[in-house]
Amino acid sequence: MKVLALYKQMLREAQKFSSYNYRSYAVRRIQDAFRENKTLKDSMQIQSELEYAQRNLEIIKRQVLVSQLFQVDKLIIEK
């Protein structure tokens, strides 16, 4: 349950990037990382990956804030 909540929170934060390219890259990386680690069985390794994901969530939050300071024009694909 904790993993799913973290996954959803990371995706929600990634959707806040003002740049389409950053947004799509972040979402893709989050999905790939969670998909890659879904077969983990070792509780220590799972805990380690959860801590890593939590640190990355904080990085995403900071980067979203910075990206919102420097607004760019929307791409054609976004309109």
Domain map of the chain by residue range? 2-78
Output the CA–CA distances (angstroms, integers) from residue 41 to 11, 28, 36, 47, 78, in the order listed.
24, 24, 13, 11, 40
Residue 39 φ then ψ, to 5°: -95, 5
pTM: 0.85
Number of C-alpha atoms within 13 angstroms, CB side, residue 41?
A: 0
The whole-number pLDDT of residue 58 equals: 97
43-79 pLDDT, tens digit per residue, is 999 999 999 999 999 999 999 999 888 877 777 787 7
Q: Are 68 and 16 in contact (CB under 8 A)?
A: yes
Given this model, what pLDDT does residue 78 score?
73
Q: Are 26 and 60 in contact (CB under 8 A)?
A: yes
Tokens found for residue 58 = 């904080």
